[in-house]
Structure 1
């Protein structure tokens, strides 16, 4: 028996596990202190009424012989894929329901999609970045090249034709920085991918937070993208499905490697290794895309965006440098002068009892930066702001 030794190349602990351990130690030593958590990007608002109603109805259906469901369709139920296709159409984007694969979340698919690509591919990943992009490729022993995301390029790296890459990860709105690519910038990436015969893995998990219609919510709003991009979407932050688990991945029919359609490879992979999302969850997900559901989730998204606005106003008042927050639940701020990311983490935890995420956990270019999330209750955000101002 031999293990996959690539796992030994990973960091000893997943970033958020390390944070959880540090916070647990602090609360154990300070049981009377109220800790405000603005670190992990988990939602706090409950599922909207349209979703819970659908969950109840679907549960009842599963208890009746005539409406009971066993194994579902391989790509997800048609009723959900149709509503997702219509959702795209509402944002001036054409995606066929047969190009949509329902999954248990973007995180799973972003890792699992690598099954259909050879290990001998060079991967281009921005730094700083969501750790899953890096770790899943280390597990497969792929060569990773990093593109510099920094203050000079507003944390939106652009293609360099001197660099050859096969697989490109892009996330917009970005996690952790909150930065958003324009249509012109994404067009440059699509042109680069087509020129290099590369594929873009586009993470659109936070598309619902974009409030400016001139900014792209899908890479398929860019001409040529269907020939070079796979898009991953999540209902976790859009509709509070972090604990309910549902998302979807789009693999266009036009996307090919030579004569091989990637759609057929992904279908084969999913039918072999995945049994689909439960019927109950898919019915709940479909309720999100009804007029009633859209209005209700919009209210929750606006709640988080207002939290972000309060935080960015306070940081501006304090004279702190930051980006994000406008079209994203994440705010990426520069640490207090001279502090490393983990030093600032400890400083905020010890002095203000606020938990955030050290930027260095997202890559070397994250050193000296810190991520705050707008996912939280309003009173907690307001209290965090008071504590930040008291530190000045």
Structure 2
């Protein structure tokens, strides 16, 4: 076939990180069919949806079977009832949002990957290590990428530096994979930098509901001036357990402009062309998750996961293993013992403890020698994993 392809796709890894992990685990199980595998790798929730969410989902689904209440195509940008709920949710942070600044979607990953559509040939600054979609989506689009290195010296919490130029900056707080979170003072440095250099921040707050402590920021819009330089992307996946339902949202303030053009209008046009909206039942479920009862029920699940994180943190403290995260994040980012490489440590845990985690190298070159452990499992399975790890670490 004499058809040209986008050769930028040839510059990314052949396999997505978690696909590679699944293949390795599948191969191990085929050789060891009786192995009892405990998965602390992929960041997928394991607890069921809360009752208030299920009730809303069932009611909305039933409405779709009645002529009077049937709904067809949803609005590309989200139903007003969900946007109102998001607006109210942010008001608890003393953040005021315009309804037209809120765009509902099928998840943060989609928006983070698609947002590059509306930007041109800018320098793109991405943390290293980092969630793979930031890097892969920009490589696919042929963008020029520079890395901001996270390491033990900066505790994997990156701050602006003097040699950073005008560009698009991806920030994630609490961070995936490292679990670190920005304080008000630290994030203000980024907002001040962006305004001074004419840069744009794409702020991923998918894990904000896990934050513990008043010193940390839940939304970048808590920082004065952020609406002039930042886009915020959030998700119901971890907050409300929607990994199987798919719903998220992106906030693009009306004040945000690039070279005299409204970024909000550009994203509106992109979504109207390429996206058909989130289903009515799922949006009703998301609305319920943001109700007072929904927030309370969802926080019970989050507290459950964070108890797992506390138990894992205690183990690594006991073993004297350096780590970040686990306090305001469901992830713990640990230094591999005895100088092991991350994929070697993956194999070591799988073979000797039947425990699956995520090799740090999969999140970037600065992740080599580190390993991500998640708290997304039951208390019982987490305790069992801890006992297995205690014996071999």
- TM-score, scaled to structure 2: 0.98
Instruction: Determine the structure 1 residue equivalent to 2:108.
Output: 106
Residue pair 1:161, 1:192 contacting (<8 A) in 2 also: no
Gapped runs of 5+ residues in structure 2? none
Q: Describe the SS at the equivalent of 1:101.
A: strand
Alpha-carbon shift at residue 314 of structure 1 (Å): 1.0
Partners of 1:111 and 1:388 in 2: how far apart?
35
Instruction: Determine the structure 2 residue equivalent to 1:75.
Output: 77
Within-5 A mapping of 1:200-349: 200-349=201-350
Instruction: Determine the structure 1 residue equivalent to 2:118.
Output: 116
Stretches of 4+ moved more than 4 A in 1?
A: none
Q: Does 1:126 align with 2:127?
A: yes
Partners of 1:276 and 1:247 in 2: how far apart?
11
Partners of 2:212 and 2:249 in 1: how far apart?
22
Instruction: Determine the structure 2 residue equivalent to 1:391.
Output: 392
Partners of 1:297 and 1:3 in 2: how far apart?
44
Deviation string, structure 1 residues 154-207 (Cα, Å, up to 9, x no partner): 101111132213110000000000011111111111111111111100000000
Deviation string, structure 1 residues 198-228 (Cα, Å, up to 9, x no partner): 1100000000000212210000001110000
Partners of 2:320 and 2:90 in 1: how far apart?
39
Residue pair 1:230, 1:249 contacting (<8 A) in 2 also: yes
Partners of 1:142 and 1:89 in 2: how far apart?
36
Partners of 2:258 and 2:67 in 1: how far apart?
45
Alpha-carbon shift at residue 95 of structure 1 (Å): 1.5
Partners of 2:339 and 2:250 in 1: how far apart?
42
Q: Describe the SS at the equivalent of 2:243.
A: coil
Partners of 1:83 and 1:373 in 2: how far apart?
29
Residue pair 1:50, 1:293 contacting (<8 A) in 2 also: yes
Alpha-carbon shift at residue 355 of structure 1 (Å): 0.3
Alpha-carbon shift at residue 282 of structure 1 (Å): 0.3
Residue pair 1:123, 1:165 contacting (<8 A) in 2 also: no
Q: CA RMSD in A?
A: 0.8
Q: Does 1:140 align with 2:141?
A: yes
Alpha-carbon shift at residue 338 of structure 1 (Å): 2.2
Q: Describe the SS at the equivalent of 2:388.
A: helix
Partners of 1:135 and 1:277 in 2: how far apart?
24
Instruction: Determine the structure 1 residue equivalent to 2:62.
Output: 60
Alpha-carbon shift at residue 97 of structure 1 (Å): 2.2
Alpha-carbon shift at residue 92 of structure 1 (Å): 1.9
Partners of 1:7 and 1:288 in 2: how far apart?
37
Greater alpha carbon shift after TM alignment, 257-266 vs 379-388: 257-266
Partners of 1:220 and 1:171 in 2: how far apart?
14
Instruction: Determine the structure 2 residue equivalent to 1:182.
Output: 183
Instruction: Determine the structure 2 residue equivalent to 1:84.
Output: 86
Instruction: Determine the structure 1 residue equivalent to 2:151.
Output: 150
Alpha-carbon shift at residue 275 of structure 1 (Å): 0.5
Instruction: Determine the structure 2 residue equivalent to 1:164.
Output: 165
Partners of 1:97 and 1:325 in 2: how far apart?
34
Instruction: Determine the structure 2 residue equivalent to 1:28.
Output: 30
Partners of 2:222 and 2:44 in 1: how far apart?
28
Gapped runs of 5+ residues in structure 1? none
Residue pair 2:156, 2:178 contacting (<8 A) in 1 also: yes
Deviation string, structure 1 residues 238-262 (Cα, Å, up to 9, x no partner): 0100010000000000000132111
Partners of 1:385 and 1:133 in 2: how far apart?
32
Partners of 1:360 and 1:165 in 2: how far apart?
28
Residue pair 2:75, 2:276 contacting (<8 A) in 1 also: no
